[in-house]
Structures are given as C-alpha cells and as structure tokens.
A and B are shown apart, each in its own frame.
Chain A
Amino acid sequence: MPLNIDPTDGNIVLQSDQVTYIHLSAFTASGAMVPNPTGDVDTVASSGPFAASLAFAVGVMPPGSSDPGDPCVVSTPLVLQSNKANAGGNIGLVITDSAGLVQQVTKNFDIAPDMTALTTGLDMTNSFTVSQAAPTAPGP
C-alpha cells in the first residue's frame, strides 16, 4: 500500500490509529536495494521537538505484506495528532547502522487522525434527554 504523503512539505502522514511498517533496506551507491551485510544491526530513533509523539522500532514486515520477514521500521503514533494543524509534526527518523552504512535521506513524519468516514452508528458516550407526555398506547 502507498504511503500518504503531504503534498505541501513531502512529509509522510501516519494515521494515528495505525501502526505502520516500512521496509528497511541497504542501498548501493547507485541506489539499488541489496541485502544487508551479514551481522549488520540497525537501530532507529525519532528526533525533533515532537520526538516523543512517535515511537520507532526495528521489526520485521508482517505476514501479508510484500516483504514478510524482512527488516522494517515499525512506526507507532503515540498521540492523536502531530502536524502543522496543531503546530507539531515534522518528526525525524534517525537510523544507526552497526556496519557504518550511511543513512539515506529520509522524509519526516506527521501524525493525523483518521477522518475518513467508513461506518455509521451511535456515539454511546454522548446523549441528551427532553421530557415528553406519556404515550397513550399500552404497548408492546
């Protein structure tokens, strides 16, 4: 599935109710993807003023993805929203490689709540009552 990219700044927009897995790979000088060197270990961390709003971890691509079992960066939003709308976002990703591979240029991240309507239903936490005359019909 494609990532949601903010067209105004190129940031990757993560949905706050989703954990996002992005394939982590080694690249040659020409930009071709190749397997990581044997024994190579990557660690990741978020950076920037709102680093605490987004957790990064190294994991593996889940079953059903295009590269199951391959290393990936697991991105877990920790807040409902962190983007330009609330003067947050632009969270950086720092990759440290034990074999000394240099981090490729990586986009920054924003967090946005899911605003796409999929279903309809009652908000059971939000109700209000108004008195009326008792009905005359006995029921049921």
Chain B
Amino acid sequence: MGATTIITLPETADAILAAVTENNVDRQILINNQTQMLQLLQQMQADQTTRSSNILGAISSLTKAVSDLGGNLSAQISENQATMGVLIQLFSAAITALTGVATIDLEQQILQAIERLGEGGPTGVGLDLSSVATRQQPQPTKSGP
C-alpha cells in the first residue's frame, strides 16, 4: 500500500460548505434578479399595452376631432360662400341702380341704393293715380295738337 494522505476533512467540508453556501447565495441573487427582471419585463409589457391603448385612443380622438373640424369648416365655408353670394348680389344691384346717376354725392347714392335693397325699401318711382287733384286754369289759346 502506498502512503496515505491524510486530509483534514473538516476544513475541506467547511470550505465546500462555504462554497455551496456562497453558491446558494449567488444562485438566490440570480433567481431574485431573474424574478425582478421578469417582473420588470411584465411591468414594461403592461405599460406598453397601456401606452399603446392610450395612443390608439388618442389617435381615435384626433381622427374624430379632425373629422368634426372638417365638417365645421365645410359648413363655415358654405355659409361664407352664401354670405358672399348675397353681398355680391347686393353690391351688383347697388352698382346697377347707380348706373347713370350722377346728380348727387356718390357716397349718398351708395347709401341710398343699399338702403333701398333692404326689405321693403323702394325700388321704383311713379304716379299714384288714386290721388289726384285739379285746379282751374284759363283755357289755353293755342289750339294744338
């Protein structure tokens, strides 16, 4: 038989135990880290889902707002076009009414023309044949016609 090497077991066991213990601690730390990482990933995923949902909601709201704005703008444009049409008619009629009139101040003519274009304003002048009066005069000396 060869020489027997005597190993001091307790020291070795202590070292092994210490190494195992240390390894367990590291493994626990690793497990803890993995758990935290998983939780973090889960939280991130949840956050991402919420964020995506919020973004989709915002996009939907924005789409509706743009649609509403488009509708309002369309209605406003139509209204403005109608208003412009009426104004063009008013001024066209005013200009027509003023054509050939040159006896009084131009501003006064414009005001009168616009005033006439209001509801019930006069547009013509003529004789009221229901209101007549006569006065005698000497018979004309010329025979006519």
Where the two chains meet, the residues of A that have a C-beta atom closer than 8 Å to any C-beta of B are 1-3, 12, 15-29, 32-42, 50, 53, 61-62, 64-67, 70, 72-73, 76-83, 86-89, 93, 95, 97-107, 111, 113
Contact = CB atoms under 8 A, between A and B. Distances in A.
Interface of B: 97-101, 103-104, 108-109, 112-113, 115-116, 120-145
Given A37-B115, A79-B140, A87-B145, A104 B127 contact: yes
Given A28-B123, A81-B144, A87-B145, A23 B109 contact: no
A29 B123 contact: yes
B118 to A, nearest CB: 10
Nearest to B134: A18
Q: Is the interface of B mostly helix, strand, loop or mixed?
A: mixed
B124 A39 contact: no
15 contacts: A15-B134, A16-B140, A22-B131, A26-B124, A64-B133, A65-B132, A77-B140, A78-B140, A79-B140, A80-B142, A82-B145, A100-B100, A102-B97, A102-B125, A106-B127
B101 A99 contact: yes
A41 B129 CA distance: 20
Contacts of A12: 129
Nearest to B139: A17
